Amino acid sequence: MISVSIFALRDVIRQVQQNFKTPYNGKTHTSPSTVADISVVCNYLKTHKLQEYTPDRENNDLATPARDLMVTGAAYANTAGAF
């Protein structure tokens, strides 16, 4: 029973590697480049404008802009109540 599962898991791994074009897993480990990973994430966020207030985005009818905390803090610091 266990040996059948091992063969099935190997087939799944090979299928996933083919479908997602992942490189063959060798016998040595490498450290992935954090610079490259962060760059991919940043480019995706910029391309899809996920970090920007976009009220006309699909399924985003109830979106509200986030407060700019620097502006809010500066406005409070300039009041008499801050002292």
pLDDT in tens, the chain (83 residues): 566 788 888 888 888 888 888 776 666 667 788 899 999 999 999 998 888 878 788 888 787 778 888 988 888 888 888 77
Q: Are 53 and 65 in contact (CB under 8 A)?
A: yes
37-53 b/e (C-beta count within 10 Å ≥ 16 → b)? eeeeeeeeeeeeeeeee
41: tokens are 């994430």
Domain that holds residue 47: 33-61
Helix (H, G, I), strand (E, B) or coil at 79: coil
Residue 1, in any domain of the structure: no
Residue 45, in any domain of the structure: yes
What is the count of structural domains for the chain?
A: 1
Residue 57, in any domain of the structure: yes
Residue 71, in any domain of the structure: no
Residue 49, in any domain of the structure: yes
What CA–CA distance (Å, rounded) separates 22 from 25? 9
pLDDT at 46: 92
Residue 82, in any domain of the structure: no
